[in-house]
Structure 1
Amino acid sequence: MGMFDFLRARKNTASIAKDRLRIIIAQERSTLGGPDYLPLLRRELLEVIRKYVNVDVDAVKVDLVKDGEHDVLDISVSLPDGRAATA
């Protein structure tokens, strides 16, 4: 005990912060309800669809749904009333 006690406190604080960050990341992944690639897949689908049809950012929804023992990729696209994109 003495002059270097403050160094031990920082290691303990860093360890606690690291554990808290792991918990936060785990919670975010579980609330998203799917694998990490789903947001990227959604963005790429939106880019492809926008080549042909003007759609809103929220028009494409990608979810992973359990169907018994299988995972099913559920893709929903809300199309506008028939107006095509201008190239």
Structure 2
Amino acid sequence: MMLFNLFTRSHTAAIARERLQLTIAHARIEMDRSRLIDTLRDEVVAVIAKHVVIDLDKVQIRVARREGVQSLDLGIELPAGFNRKTAA
């Protein structure tokens, strides 16, 4: 009797539903993380751009993950002897 219970559709459907819910939750987390990284990048660049002339094409962002820790590296190329913006 137990052998037949292993192959019932309801058991398989429940497992498939659970896997789908996990996949959707993971996708939502990744989308939120991506939006957060974009927001952080934009805000940091805006603050620096208030004081220094920067080329937005020269801004690089990297996210590193290791041993449960994430780091956000933001690289902004400044011109040699970078120009400080003057108050208008």
Give the TM-score normalised by the residue count of structure 2.
0.53
SS at 1:36 equivalent: helix
Counterparts of 1:1-87 in structure 2, within 5 Å, are 26=27, 34-81=33-80, 82-87=82-87
User: In terms of Rg, which structure is larger?
Assistant: 2
CA distance in 1, matches of 2:38, 2:48: 15
Using the aligned pairs only, state the percent identity: 31
SS at 1:72 equivalent: strand
CA RMSD of aligned residues (A): 2.3
SS at 1:45 equivalent: helix
CA distance in 2, matches of 1:45, 1:60: 11
CA distance in 2, matches of 1:62, 1:83: 23
Larger mean CA deviation between 44-53 and 75-84 belongs to 75-84
Structure 1 residue runs of 4 or more that deviate by more than 2 Å after TM superposition: 58-63
1:16-69: per-residue Cα shift (whole Å, max 9, x none)? xxxxxxx9xx5xx57xxx532111111111110011100011233232211232
Unaligned runs of 5+ in 1: 1-22
Matched length: 58
Give the TM-score normalised by the residue count of structure 1.
0.53
